[in-house]
């Protein structure tokens, strides 16, 4: 076989594969750059939690980090280097740093322009206030596996503290656990295992932050060990199946959290704590905070907001079929809620937003909203504000006049008030981190 024939047989296919590889790489780079540009335009460049920073001098552009990230679109390769292209979607998995073969990735809190408040904790998860402990997302660990492990470990130190304090009488609890997400559940099971007297309180429902994920969202988490239950292997699991798992855990273990009860104050009384909630008061030797970083939903502070038809996030669009629904807000969550509601049969959707445009929403959500408004499936009221909420109607100020419209449900997507003030009121020291570990 001649040299020319060999070249045709072997070299040309290899050349074609190389050209395909280069072309695919360029296409992926352009796509990643487009996603990054979209987020820059929308002002969505500040991560909410632990996130990676990438040293370009060490980065090989191998994309191991992007493949390892369960969120799929958070990291991308641009011009041969890894980049954080969807910062607000990063939830702190940390898998990217583990996967990087050259240690080019460092996980940090905050950024140079926006600090993230992290409570100062001892290795025993104790805050600057002796007897108050923190586990899970509030302490910077948002992963389900890490939150479970922190809750499991923290309750061991809580138990030791409660034994040291002692006294107070039979009516005094060993610990009040605030929050019923993964960290709170793990801590509560640990409390049962150690025969501690306790109560678990959550201002919302079972599951913490996970309960507020969109319907059908896949949650990725590694195996973890739960007290009383043992090792559990989640893998990639839907939100609904994960919540069903937590329900089964409650049924099997007898854990009975107090839902829809909000803790409003925690005050020291000698060696004990006085905990005030929306339903009563508790005395305890210790407090374990297992709450999320999103805190309490931001309210409108208008008459009628206390009605049961008012909620602060969309969980299941199908339950609103055939109803008159008002969505309030102009961010991604509000636009996505309005579009998903408008897809339900017979649902009349109105969106109210105080500004003239959706400056902090992604382009694809703005485009979807524009299409639904143009088709008449969503009524858009920009530069408007809610005046009153009534059982069967809402009054909206818009265009220099008050307008009253029929209404069955109100969904307010105005973000959350971080629990920083709540921590300060308890005397807990908080450190603001600007892009550091």
Predicted confidence (pLDDT) per residue in 321-352, tens digit: 999 999 999 988 899 999 999 999 999 999 99
Predicted confidence (pLDDT) per residue in 210-257, tens digit: 666 655 555 656 778 899 999 888 777 777 788 888 899 999 999 999
Dihedral sign, Cα of residue 405, residue 407, residue 413, residue 417: positive
The CATH number of the domain where 392 resides is what? Answer: 3.50.50.60
- The per-residue pLDDT for 78 is 94
The SS3 assignment for 260 reads coil
Shared-domain flag, residues 150 and 269: yes
148 occurs within a structural domain? yes
- pLDDT band of residue 77 (cuts 50, 70, 90) is very high
303 occurs within a structural domain? no
Percentage, residues of the chain above pLDDT 70: 91
302 occurs within a structural domain? no
Shared-domain flag, residues 216 and 356: no
The SS3 assignment for 80 reads coil
Shared-domain flag, residues 104 and 120: no
- The per-residue pLDDT for 432 is 80
Nearest Cα to 263, choosing from 187, 185, 200?
200
- Report DSSP state, residue 293: S
Q: Choose the final residue of a domain: 80, 108, 136.
A: 108
Dihedral sign, Cα of residue 70, residue 75, residue 76, residue 79: negative
- The whole-angstrom separation of Cα 66 and Cα 78 is 12
Shared-domain flag, residues 219 and 363: no
Residue 337 lies in domain: 310-415
Please list, in sequence order, all residues whose beta carbon lies within 8 angstroms of the beta carbon of residue 70, skipping any fewer than 6 positions away. Answer: 93, 95, 220, 236
Backbone phi, then psi, for 55, in 5-degree steps? Answer: -85, 105
Shared-domain flag, residues 339 and 217: no
Which residue pairs from 56-60 have beta carbons closer than 8 angstroms and sit at least 24 positions apart in sequence? Answer: 56/81, 56/104, 57/104, 58/102, 58/103, 58/104, 59/100, 59/102, 59/104, 60/101, 60/102, 60/104
The predicted model gives 33-51 an average pLDDT of 83
300 occurs within a structural domain? no
Q: What's the whole-model pTM score? A: 0.73
Structure tokens at 156: 């061991």
Predicted confidence (pLDDT) per residue in 284-321, tens digit: 999 999 987 766 788 899 999 999 999 988 878 999 99
Shared-domain flag, residues 259 and 395: no
Shared-domain flag, residues 150 and 220: yes
> How do beta strands 378-382 and 348-353 pair?
parallel
- The per-residue pLDDT for 295 is 64
The SS3 assignment for 58 reads coil
Shared-domain flag, residues 76 and 134: no
158 occurs within a structural domain? yes
254 occurs within a structural domain? yes
The CATH number of the domain where 91 resides is what? Answer: 3.30.70.20
Shared-domain flag, residues 36 and 81: yes
Average pLDDT, the chain: 88
215 vs 271: which has the higher pLDDT: 271
The SS3 assignment for 131 reads coil
pLDDT at 369 over 90: yes
Nearest Cα to 93, choosing from 66, 120, 61?
66
Q: Choose the final residue of a domain: 87, 108, 129.
A: 108
Nearest Cα to 92, choosing from 46, 39, 37, 52?
52
Instruction: Give, to the nearest 10 degrees, the angle between helix 363-374 and helix 12-42.
Output: 70
User: Exposed e or buried b for every residue in 275-293, given b needs 16+ CB within 10 A?
Assistant: bebeeeebebbbbbbbbbb
The predicted model gives 71-97 an average pLDDT of 86
Q: Work out the angle at residue 422's Cα, subtended by the Cα atoms of residues 421 and 423, and round it to the nearest 5 degrees.
A: 90
- The per-residue pLDDT for 1 is 54
Predicted confidence (pLDDT) per residue in 385-405, tens digit: 999 999 999 999 999 999 999
End-to-end CA distance of the chain: 62
221 occurs within a structural domain? yes
Structure tokens at 357: 């445009």
Nearest Cα to 208, choosing from 142, 152, 150?
142
- The whole-angstrom separation of Cα 53 and Cα 417 is 27
Give the chain's domain count.
Answer: 3
Window from 13-27, 132-146, 270-284, 327-341 with minimum mean pLDDT: 13-27
Query: How many other C-beta atoms are found inside a 10 Å radius of the C-beta of residue 192?
Result: 15
The DSSP bridge partners found for residue 116 are 433
Please list, in sequence order, all residues whose beta carbon lies within 8 angstroms of the beta carbon of residue 195, skipping any fewer than 6 positions away. Answer: none
- pLDDT band of residue 88 (cuts 50, 70, 90) is confident
Shared-domain flag, residues 409 and 423: no
Q: Is 21 exposed, middle or buried (0-12, 13-18, 19+ CB in 10 A)?
A: exposed
What are the DSSP calls for 216-242, one per residue? T-EEEE--EEETTTEEE--EEEEHHHH
Q: Choose the final residue of a domain: 44, 74, 108.
A: 108
Shared-domain flag, residues 289 and 351: no
Shared-domain flag, residues 202 and 282: yes
291 occurs within a structural domain? yes
The SS3 assignment for 306 reads coil
- The whole-angstrom separation of Cα 46 and Cα 420 is 18
């Amino acid at each position: 076989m001649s040299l020319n024939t060999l070249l045709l047989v072997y070299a040309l296919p290899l050349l074609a594969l190389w050209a395909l590889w280069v072309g695919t790489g360029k296409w992926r780079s352009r796509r990643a750059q487009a996603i990054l540009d979209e987020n820059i335009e929308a002002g969505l460049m500040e991560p909410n939690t632990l996130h990676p920073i990438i040293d370009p001098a060490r980065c090989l552009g191998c994309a191991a980090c992007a493949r390892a990230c369960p969120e799929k679109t958070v990291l991308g390769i641009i011009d041969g280097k890894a980049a954080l292209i969807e910062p607000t979607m990063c939830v702190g998995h940390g898998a990217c740093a583990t996967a990087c073969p050259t240690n080019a990735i460092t996980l940090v809190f905050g950024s140079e322009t926006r600090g993230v408040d992290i409570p100062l904790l001892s290795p025993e998860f104790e805050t600057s206030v002796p007897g108050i402990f923190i586990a899970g997302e509030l302490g910077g660990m948002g992963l389900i596996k890490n939150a479970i492990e922190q809750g499991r470990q923290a309750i061991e130190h809580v138990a030791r503290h409660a034994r040291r304090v002692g006294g107070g009488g039979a009516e005094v609890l060993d610990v009040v656990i605030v929050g019923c997400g993964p960290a709170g559940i793990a801590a509560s099971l640990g409390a049962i295992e150690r025969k501690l007297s306790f109560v678990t309180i959550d201002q919302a429902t079972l599951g913490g932050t996970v309960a507020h994920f969109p319907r059908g969202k896949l949650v990725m988490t590694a195996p973890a060990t739960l007290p009383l239950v043992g090792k559990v292997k989640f893998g990639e699991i839907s939100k609904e199946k994960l919540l069903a798992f937590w329900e089964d855990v409650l049924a099997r273990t007898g854990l009975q959290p107090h839902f829809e009860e909000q803790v409003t104050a925690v005050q020291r009384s000698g060696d004990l704590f006085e905990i005030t909630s929306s339903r009563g008061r508790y005395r305890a030797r210790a407090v374990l905070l297992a709450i999320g970083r999103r805190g309490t939903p931001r309210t409108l502070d208008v008459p009628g907001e206390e009605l049961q038809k008012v909620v602060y996030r969309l969980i299941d669009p199908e339950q609103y079929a055939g109803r008159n629904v008002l969505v309030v807000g102009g961010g991604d969550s509000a636009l996505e809620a309005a579009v998903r509601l408008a897809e339900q049969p017979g649902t009349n959707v109105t969106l109210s937003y105080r500004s003239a445009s959706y400056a902090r929403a992604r382009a694809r959500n703005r485009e979807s909203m524009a299409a639904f408004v143009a088709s008449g499936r969503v009524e858009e009221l920009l530069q408007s504000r809610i005046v009153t909420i009534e059982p069967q109607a809402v009054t909206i100020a818009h265009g220099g006049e008050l307008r009253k419209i029929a209404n069955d449900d109100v969904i307010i997507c105005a973000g959350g008030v971080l629990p920083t003030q709540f921590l300060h009121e308890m005397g807990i020291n908080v450190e603001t981190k600007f892009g550091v570990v």
